[in-house]
Amino acid sequence: MTPRPGYADLTPQQVLDALDAVGLRGDGRILQLNSYENRVYQLFLEDGSAVVAKFYRPGRWSDAQILEEHAFALELAAAEVPVVPPLLLAGAEAGVTLAGTPPTLALRGAHRWSVSARCAGREPELDDPETLRRIGRFIGRLHAVGRRRPFEHRHRLDARTDGRRALALLLEGGFVPADQRPAWQASCEQALAAVEAAFDAAQPLATLRLHGDCHPGNVLWRDGAPNVVDLDDAMQGPAVQDLWMLVSGDRSTIARQLDLLLAGYEEFSEFDDRERALIEPLRTLRMVRHAAWLAERWIDPSFPINFPHFGSSAYWSQQTTQLREQLEAMG
């Protein structure tokens, strides 16, 4: 997706001015944080505190989708689920709101942005059984809130639509080299067909409001407990979507890790055991969608710098190999 004019030119002074417009006066110290999708900055304020400001990628989400994410985060925080919600903003610039929604999304020129408290932490140690149980409890609490009502505006996970859209984007955009295209396309089509079959077999499938991108980097371990700092990919989908990225290895290892997660999870939420069969299909779907995400963002100058191997024959050969491995894993 092409960034709109001015996105790449967002300057530190513009960021400081944006915060000043809602009463958050910076002391001049600003640090750009690692984020490919958005522009995220840590800023120190005159009162000695620090906040994180996120400037959303233009055109990715609508105002309604962002505000629905914010409302979910605030609902989780009110239920004492350890998340980092957006701050309520004051001032004329905090003018992007929906009826009944707190003022958490600010608009300044072409940029939409939000602010949250800084939350430091480390990735969890997933080889520790008790850590997995605690993360399971945390996700179970999150899902207990997520089941209260559905999202109306956020993305709804649809294996068939999401996978076929990614495949079409990669092929029609010419991102797969000619020497790799036949093998990759055949493997990808077979793998997506297996993904679709697995989801069809799991129907009817209950869905709920999810974190959506619950990998270890998004689950910060702080004060002996897990915390979530990023709901940017919040979506409607099956519960297992927030569990499968926390397990890996051979089938017996994955089963053992999932059992530990569910031992904590089911203290707060029910889990449909049929969703176990969706772990490898979801892993496959993420693989294809990740390649499409890189292709869609390739015009952003930061992507060729950070993903220099994307588009090479070696990259697509490796993708073909991994898709074939996923076909076996789904078999």
pLDDT value at residue 220: 85
Catalytic residue ranges: 213, 230
Q: What is the pLDDT of residue 331?
A: 86
179 annotated binding-site participant: no
Q: Which of 105, 42, 93, 95 is nearest to 69 (CA)?
A: 105
Q: Was 9 annotated as part of a binding site?
A: no
Q: What is the pLDDT of residue 228?
A: 80
d(CA 167, CA 169): 6
* Region for residue 11 given its phi and psi (left: phi exceeds 0; alpha: psi -120 to 50; beta: otherwise): beta
Instruction: Identify the pLDDT of residue 98.
Output: 60
Q: Which residues contact 209 (CB under 8 A, 6 or more apart)?
A: 72, 145, 146, 147, 149, 150, 151, 154, 234, 235, 236
- The tens-digit pLDDT sequence of the chain (331 residues) is 344 444 667 889 989 998 998 889 999 999 999 888 999 999 999 999 999 999 999 889 999 999 999 999 999 999 999 999 999 988 656 666 666 667 899 987 778 999 999 887 788 888 999 999 999 999 999 999 999 999 999 999 999 999 999 999 999 999 999 999 999 999 999 999 999 999 999 999 999 999 999 998 888 888 888 888 789 999 999 999 999 999 999 999 999 999 999 999 999 999 999 999 999 999 999 999 999 999 999 998 889 999 999 989 999 999 999 999 999 999 8
List the chain domain ranges. 12-117, 129-330
pLDDT at 252: 95
Query: Quick check: pTM over 0.85?
Result: yes
pLDDT reported for residue 1: 39
CATH of 12-117, one of 2.60.40.1250, 3.20.20.80, 3.30.200.70, 3.40.50.300: 3.30.200.70
Architecture per CATH, domain 129-330, reads as: Orthogonal Bundle (1.10)
Distances (CA, A) of 162 to 15, 183, 196, 253: 34, 21, 10, 28
Buried b (16+ CB within 10 A) or exposed e, 251-267: eeebeebbebbbebbee
Q: Do domains 12-117 and 129-330 have the same CATH topology?
A: no
